[in-house]
Each structure stands twice: as C-alpha cells, then as structure tokens.
C-alpha cells in the first residue's frame, strides 16, 4: 500500500519525501484547495521545485484542487489544473464534477483521484465518477467501517485510498455546513473550515474560551488538552447535558488495522495534516513508515508516541471500528 | 517542553531592557535580512504588530515585521494585533520550526490571542523558512561568525539533549 503524506509548504514537502512518503499531496496558494489557510501552500514556482525534488527521489506528487468552483470564477480552478498538469503532477485530487469534466476533456492523460470532499461512498457514486471522468482512485470518507471499506473496494472499478492518521472528520465531507453556519465560509467553497479570521480565544479566569464567528464553542480549564476551534468539536448543552454533541476533539489512528486494510484491497493510506508544521510531518511520516515496515506486534509501540502531537492528545480508530448504530 | 530554570530567570531579571532589546534586534535583523520569503508568506499580515511573551523570562517582545522593528518590554501592551506566550524554549523551537505549533497548542504549552489569521500566517511562514538560529546569528557577527555559530550550536545541543526543545 502506498503512503500518501501531507505538505503545506516546501519545507514540509521535503520532510515528507525524506521521511518515506510514496506520494506527497499539496495545494496551490488560493481557494482551489481545502486547506486555504494564511501562510500555507505553494506558488507555481514552489510547486515546480517540489515536484522536481520528489521525482529525483522516486516519490510522486499529488495536487489537491478539491474545493467546489465558484460560479463565474471557474478560470481559477481550470488554471490550477492546467498548472498541475504542466508541471507534472502524478495525480490531481478533485471534488467538483465540473472540474473533473474539464480535466478529462483537456488533459485526458492526467490521472484523476476523487477527493474525500466528493463524498463518494457507495459503488454507484464511485462507478459513475470512474465511468464519466476516468477517475482512477477514490479517497473514501472517514465514515465507513472496515467491512464497508472492504465491500466497497471489491465492488468499484478504481483504487481506494483511506485515511489512517490525523484530523478526524466524520461529517459528510464536501457537504458539511457547520463552518458556513458560524462564519459564512466553508472548506467546500472557500477552502477553510472554521477560518482563523473568525476564531478568537478569550480568557475567562484561568480558563480559555474558544469562539468561532461570535459563538462560544468550548472552554478549557488550565492544562486540559485542546482541539481545533471547529463547531463539530465544540462542547454544548442540550437535553440537560453538556458535552461534545458531534464528536470529541480527537485524532484518527487506524494503524492497528493496517493488515485488515491491506486484505480489503486498499491501495493507499493517507495521512491528514497539510496545516501542520514540518516537524509534525517529519515525525508522523517517519513513524508510520517504520510501523508499516514492522511486524504487526511491534506497531502499537512504534506509533504510541504520536498521540502527544494529536488533537486533544487522544486518538481513535473512528468509524473503522464502528460500535454505534 | 521544559521551562528555563528559575535561577536563569532570576539572573536575567535585572538586565536592562535596552541591552535585551539590542540582543533581540541583532537576531531579528539577521533573520529578516536572510529570509525575505518570510515577508512574502506573511502577505498583508506583515504590517501587523505581534507580541511574544516567554512566560519564564522577566520580559517580552513586540515585533512589527514590515517596519523591521523589535522592542523589549516588561509586559506586553494591550494594543497588539496578536500575541503568543509560552516557555522561552518553546517559542524558540517554533521560530526554528522544530516543533509543531498545533501540537503545542493542543497540549496547552503555548497560548495565543488576538488576530488568529495573523498568528497562523506567521507560524506557517516561519515553518517554511528553515531558520537556524546559530547560522543566522553567525551571519551577522562578522569575523566572529564561526565562534558565534559554534557557541550557539553548543547551547542548543545541550538544550536538545535535556529534552527541553522537542
């Protein structure tokens, strides 16, 4: 199985390559990708240098162009695809069917991967994208159990790629409106979930209160591990109880299930985290590469140290081991 | 991430601010001169005013990247666009990109306030720059450069050895 690793800047890209990535995925410095955060991402020149660096070491480069095109501004997304193709991206990761159609039409040789943002999670949806746009791989949403991943992988005509480590998003990705509700901006259209421009941290005595778009969404006592300031990770009061209504501030870690994923026929394992620093990328990629090369009994000890760099400093195997419903 | 020993903090308490400011300016100017890409990644945020408060030191710093200005203060003023506080070593490690800012935030080792876009832009810009403090300081030290580099690398190696950095 390929190891697909994140990079938000050139330094992180080199770290990912050096640490053992089979492919590194990144995005351009604009709203065409779902990590459109300030100070992050690649100019075309930086991207060109990154591709050259990766290629010289036998590593592939994928480009996430995985937001949905804004009506009237499609040229920005078309240009991103044209640039990625011209520089030699090994795959473009797309969510918008209009952009897939453009890519398939203008660049029929270009390999298309279906982004998790496309929320293609059943054989009909995946089959359609493969048939209509010659997509070669689908990145599966983080809402499927291991048996569901195996069943889907066996029934679609494309490769499957699954998240195994990093940020935990159990929403219908590409369709989640929580960020839009609070801020007017979304990862789907603007490339930003809970944009920093709408985040504020306030002191309330010794506690820290996180706010998004004017809504207080969590309160952390001194020393209590924190999470990202997203509505889905917030603590709210409802039905007389207070707690994390949507999900806990916690990271995905499916590394106990590597053998099951391999047996399921999964082609690639993805690490989330283009917004993280190069130190995180280096540590996570090298650790997971070691775990992949190690016998199953040794893996847990190898990856245990990654918990300290995870959101909420806790990890879960999430829906892969679905115990609800 | 360990804090500075309290003896070190005590020893630095009487240090005059102009002396601290001069040392900080020396390092800051060197970094800004050698890393023009920092301003590019900061974009419009380079015009913002940032405060950095090492919680284990008796002074803090106010930085305005566009003006190329750094100031040492006893306490951070209220009129800042954004601020970060945490152990001195943690802030230095962030400057060099040796630690992940999100991880330090999740573990509550650093705190941030004010304009989060500006903070994020600065964190991401620094992360990409590949700042190496011994090299930066040596580059501004003229003929004493090699000595400065060796001394700084020794200090950093000791800090890293003690697990205080990452």
The model's pLDDT over B109-128, given as tens digits with 9 standing for 90+, comes to: 999 999 999 999 999 999 99
Domain interval for residue B75: 6-131
Please report the pLDDT score of residue B162 as a whole number. Answer: 58
Please report the pLDDT score of residue A191 as a whole number. Answer: 92
Domains, chain A: 2-170+251-321 (3.20.20.70), 178-244 (no CATH)
Cα gap A75→A70, rounded to integer Å: 9
Which among B45, B116, B127 has CB closest to A278? B127
Please report the pLDDT score of residue A92 as a whole number. Answer: 98
Q: How confident is the model at residue B2 (pLDDT cuts 50, 70, 90)?
A: low
Residue B27 reports pLDDT greater than 80: yes
**Residue in chain A lying closest to B93 (CA):** A279
Which among A196, A203, A276 has CB closest to B102? A276
Q: How confident is the model at residue B164 (pLDDT cuts 50, 70, 90)?
A: very low
Cα gap A185→A181, rounded to integer Å: 8
CA distances (Å), origin B143, targets A62, B23, B147, B148: 46, 18, 9, 9
Residue B104 reports pLDDT greater than 50: yes
Q: Is residue B160 situated within a structural domain?
A: no
Chain B residues lying within 8 Å of A228, measured CB to CB: 102
A12, A28, A108: which is closest to A66 by C-alpha?
A28
Residue B166 reports pLDDT greater than 60: no
Q: Is residue B37 situated within a structural domain?
A: yes
pLDDT in tens, A288-319: 999 999 998 888 889 888 888 887 778 888 88
B100, B85, B71, B75: which is closest to A203 by C-alpha?
B85
Please report the pLDDT score of residue B144 as a whole number. Answer: 86
Task: Give the pLDDT mean for B136-163.
Answer: 82
Q: Is residue B149 situated within a structural domain?
A: no
Strand partners of residue A130: none
Contact A296, A302 (CB under 8 A): no
Residue ranges in chain A whose pLDDT is less than 50: none
Q: Is residue B158 situated within a structural domain?
A: no
Q: How many domains does chain B contain in total?
A: 1
Q: Is residue B20 situated within a structural domain?
A: yes
* A277–B101 C-beta distance less than 8 A: yes
Cα gap B120→B114, rounded to integer Å: 11
* B124–A38 C-beta distance less than 8 A: yes
Best mutation site among B82, B96, B97, B121 for testing chain A: the one with the most A CBs within 10 Å?
B97
ipTM value for the complex: 0.89
Chain B residues lying within 8 Å of A53, measured CB to CB: none
CATH number assigned to the domain comprising residue B41: 3.30.1050.10
């Amino acid at each position: 199985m390929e190891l697909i690793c994140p990079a938000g800047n050139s330094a992180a890209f080199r770290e990912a390559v050096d640490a053992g990535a089979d492919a590194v995925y990144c995005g351009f410095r604009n709203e065409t990708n779902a990590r459109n955060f300030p100070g992050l991402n690649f100019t075309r020149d930086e991207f060109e240098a990154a591709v050259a660096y990766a290629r010289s070491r036998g590593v592939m480069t994928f480009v996430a162009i995985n937001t949905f095109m804004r009506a009237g501004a499609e040229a920005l997304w078309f240009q991103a695809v044209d640039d990625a193709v011209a520089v030699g991206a090994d795959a473009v990761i797309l969510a918008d069917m209009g952009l897939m159609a453009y890519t398939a039409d203008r660049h029929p040789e270009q390999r298309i991967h279906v982004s998790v943002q496309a929320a293609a999670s059943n054989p009909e949806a995946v089959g359609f994208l493969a048939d209509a746009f010659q997509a070669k791989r689908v990145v599966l949403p983080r809402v499927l159990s291991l048996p569901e991943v195996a069943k889907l992988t066996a029934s679609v005509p494309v490769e499957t790629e699954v998240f195994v480590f990093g940020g935990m998003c159990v929403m219908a990705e590409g369709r989640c409106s929580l960020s839009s509700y609070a801020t007017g901006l979304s990862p789907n259209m603007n490339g930003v979930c809970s944009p920093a421009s709408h985040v504020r941290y306030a002191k309330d005595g010794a506690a820290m209160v996180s706010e998004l778009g004017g809504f207080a969404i969590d309160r952390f006592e001194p020393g209590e591990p924190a999470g990202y300031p997203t509505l889905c990770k917030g603590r709210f009061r409802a039905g007389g109880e207070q707690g994390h209504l949507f999900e806990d501030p916690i990271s995905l870690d499916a590394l106990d299930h590597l053998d099951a994923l391999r047996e399921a026929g999964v082609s690639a394992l993805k690490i989330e985290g283009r917004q993280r620093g190069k130190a995180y990328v280096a540590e996570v990629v090298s650790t997971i590469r070691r775990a992949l090369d190690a016998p199953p009994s040794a893996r847990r000890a190898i990856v245990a140290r990654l918990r300290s760099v995870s959101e909420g400093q806790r990890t879960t195997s999430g829906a892969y081991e679905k115990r609800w419903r | 991430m360990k804090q500075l020993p309290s003896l070190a903090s005590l020893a630095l308490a009487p240090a005059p601010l102009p002396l601290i400011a001069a040392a900080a300016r020396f390092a800051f100017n060197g970094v800004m001169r050698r890393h023009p890409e920092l301003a590019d990644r900061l974009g419009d945020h380079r015009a913002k005013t940032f405060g950095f408060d090492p919680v284990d030191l008796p002074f803090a710093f106010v930085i305005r990247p566009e003006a190329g200005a750094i100031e040492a203060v006893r306490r951070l003023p209220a009129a800042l666009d954004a601020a970060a506080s945490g152990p001195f070593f943690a802030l230095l490690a962030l400057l060099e990109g040796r630690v992940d800012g999100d991880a330090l935030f999740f573990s509550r080792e650093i705190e941030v306030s004010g304009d989060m876009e500006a903070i994020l832009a600065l964190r991401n810009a620094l992360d990409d720059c590949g700042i190496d403090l011994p090299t930066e300081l040596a580059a501004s030290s003229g003929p004493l450069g090699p000595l400065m580099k060796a001394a700084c690398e020794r200090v950093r190696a000791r800090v890293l050895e003690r697990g205080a950095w990452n």
